[in-house]
Amino acid sequence: MLSRLKKDIKVVFERDPAAKSTLEVILCYPGFHAILIHRMAHKLYDIRLFVLARLVSQIGRAFTQIEIHPGAKIGEGLFIDHGAGVVIGETAEIGDNVTLYQGVTLGGTGKEKGKRHPTIGNNVVISAGAKVLGSFVVGDNVKIGAGSVVLKEVPPNCTVVGVPGYIVKREDVQDDMEAVNKKGGRQEGVDLKHNDLPNPVAELLQSLQDQIKELEHKIERLEAKPVDKNGSKDI
């Protein structure tokens, strides 16, 4: 328990430059509190004390503004930054070294029983306000842009933006194994640059604008050509 607690505190220092001291993290970080409370609730859920587990999770929700169902399975190194409005559903599964920003929802899409929430891989970054809805897998090293709504499976090493979310960038698996802590299998220095994402809509509009300008130049050149004696321009 103490070792796990130290890892949780270390994760905060790795991913939040605003963290100044261990005491500050323990007293003032709702994401840290939410994870600790979830572990207690999950233990109760595992031994089928469902009502008590939900009661503990609801106390955590009131205290942190983060709602994690006690049935959710969470790996090591989860960091919830700020955290207000984060919702994690009952059958959601989260891998190692995942980062969630405020307003993220890992939710279901219907009333069916069984697995109905997403499975999030390792080293995933889900930006503010993003929604991942349904029972599918989001692969390792994926980035999901702010405000995106992801409704289908995402392969590893991709960037997703938009409503509904679609893949705008694919990357090969990194070969730099020096970045992996072989003792714990944790990747140090998780890439948190979730603001540096492609904007396909802006790129499309720019492409259309460039084509319009090219057509305008062609029209100007045609209008500038001399008219022959039959009244038509020499094309």
Summarised one tens digit per residue, pLDDT across range 36-57 is: 999 999 999 999 999 999 999 9
Q: pLDDT at position 205, please?
A: 81
- CA-CA distance, 151 to 45, in Å (whole number)? 28
What is the average per-residue pLDDT within 122-142?
A: 94
At residue 232 the predicted structure's pLDDT band, cuts being 50, 70 and 90, is low
Domain 2-195 class in CATH: mainly beta
**Is the model more confident about 145 or about 174?**
145
Summarised one tens digit per residue, pLDDT across range 165-217 is: 888 877 744 433 334 344 444 444 566 555 556 666 667 788 888 889 888 88
| Of 124, 73, 74, nearest in space to 98 by CA | 124
Q: pLDDT at position 233, please?
A: 55
CB 34 within 8 A of CB 12: no
Pairing of strands 93-94, 137-138: unpaired
Q: Is the pLDDT of residue 101 over 60?
A: yes
CB 158 within 8 A of CB 172: no
* Domain-wise residue ranges, the chain: 2-195, 199-235
What is residue 184's three-state secondary structure?
A: coil
Q: pLDDT at position 168, please?
A: 84
CB 34 within 8 A of CB 69: no
CB 113 within 8 A of CB 126: no
Mean pLDDT score of the chain: 84
Token pair recorded at residue 161: 């933006």
Q: Is the pTM above the cut of 0.85?
A: no
Q: pLDDT at position 46, please?
A: 95
- CA-CA distance, 205 to 93, in Å (whole number)? 38
Q: pLDDT at position 183, please?
A: 41
Q: pLDDT at position 25, please?
A: 93
Q: Is the pLDDT of residue 35 over 90?
A: yes
Percent of the chain with pLDDT over 70: 83
CB 100 within 8 A of CB 79: yes
What is the average per-residue pLDDT within 11-26?
A: 92
